[in-house]
A and B are shown apart, each in its own frame.
Chain A
Amino acid sequence: MESLGFGILAGCALMSAFAVVRSANLVHAVLWLGVTLVATAGLYAMLGASFLASVQVLLYVGGVVTLMIFGLMMTRRHGDSGPQIEDVRSAPAALAAIILFGATAWAVVSTDGLDAPVTPPPAVGPAALGRALVRDHVLAFETISMLLLVAIVGAIVIARRKDPGGAAAAAPASAASVAVPKAAE
Chain B
Amino acid sequence: MSLASCLLLAAALFCVGLYGLLARRQIVAILLSIELMANAANLVFVAFGHYRGGALGQVFAVFSIALTVAEVAVGLALAMLLYRRHGDSRVELASEMKR
Contact = CB atoms under 8 A, between A and B. Distances in A.
Given A36-B39, A59-B65, A96-B18, A68 B23 contact: no
A30 B31 CA distance: 10
A31 B36 CA distance: 13
6 closest A-B pairs (Cβ-Cβ)? A21-B20, A121-B53, A93-B22, A151-B70, A159-B77, A155-B77
Interface of B: 1-9, 11-29, 31-33, 35-36, 39, 42-43, 46-47, 49-56, 58-59, 61-63, 65-74, 76-84, 87-89, 98-99
A156 B3 CA distance: 41
A155 B92 CA distance: 21
B36 A36 contact: yes
A102 to B, nearest CB: 9
A6 B74 contact: no
Most buried by B among A71, A86, A93, A167: A71
A121 B55 CA distance: 11
Given A89-B23, A114-B7, A115-B2, 4 more contacts: A14-B16, A20-B16, A26-B28, A129-B62
B19 A94 contact: yes
A49 B58 contact: yes
A159 B36 contact: no
A118 interface: yes
Contacts of B62: 52, 55, 129, 133
A44 B46 contact: yes
16 contacts: A17-B13, A20-B32, A21-B20, A21-B24, A21-B32, A26-B28, A37-B35, A43-B43, A52-B62, A55-B65, A63-B69, A85-B23, A85-B25, A121-B53, A124-B58, A161-B84
Contacts of A137: 59
Interface in A12-29: 13-14, 17-18, 20-21, 26, 29
A77 B54 contact: no
A179 interface: no
B11 A105 contact: yes
A181 to B, nearest CB: 12
Contacts of A64: 35, 68-69, 72
Given A49-B46, A67-B76, A158-B78, A20 B63 contact: no
B39 A101 contact: no
Contacts of A167: 99
B1 A3 contact: yes
